[in-house]
Amino acid sequence: MVGKTELYDAFGELIYAVAKADGFIQNEEVGKLQELLASHTWGKEIGWSFNYEREKKQDLQTAYDKALYTCKEFGPSPEYPKLLDILQQIAAASDGIDSDEARLIHNFEAELRRKFRVDLLEGKWMVKD
């Protein structure tokens, strides 16, 4: 069972993947992330996960796949709209949203919607706090 700690780790992994999608992580993206996470209850945990992936120089696809898997396993969360907003703001922080960043964000949202739609049809849907 995936809990909130793993979910927030996944948020950091996904933010890392989006920041890296255009080739490298810019200082503006890191600054925007710090600004956005300062007011988030789990900001330190999300930031830790982002920094861990960054220090490891994790492959973008691996970080994305791990995050997507975790979010799918966790299920629906009222945190996802905020995450998508953070992803957009991180991507836009340095010279606007690049097509690779936009594609990654779009694919993540589409994959979650597809998974939750199937779960809803199969009667598996439950919102978690």
Residue with tokens 């898997």: 69
> How far apart are alpha carbons 15 and 29 in whole angstroms?
10
> How far apart are alpha carbons 14 and 86 in whole angstroms?
10
- In tens, the pLDDT along 70-88 reads 999 998 899 999 999 999 9
Average pLDDT over residues 22-37: 95
> How far apart are alpha carbons 30 and 50 in whole angstroms?
10
Tell me, which fold does domain 4-121 have in CATH? TerB-like (1.10.3680)
| Confidence band of 47 (pLDDT split at 50, 70, 90) | very high
- In tens, the pLDDT along 101-127 reads 999 999 999 999 999 888 777 766 555
Higher pLDDT, 125 or 16: 16
| Confidence band of 33 (pLDDT split at 50, 70, 90) | very high
What is the CA angle 8-11-14, rounded to 5? 155
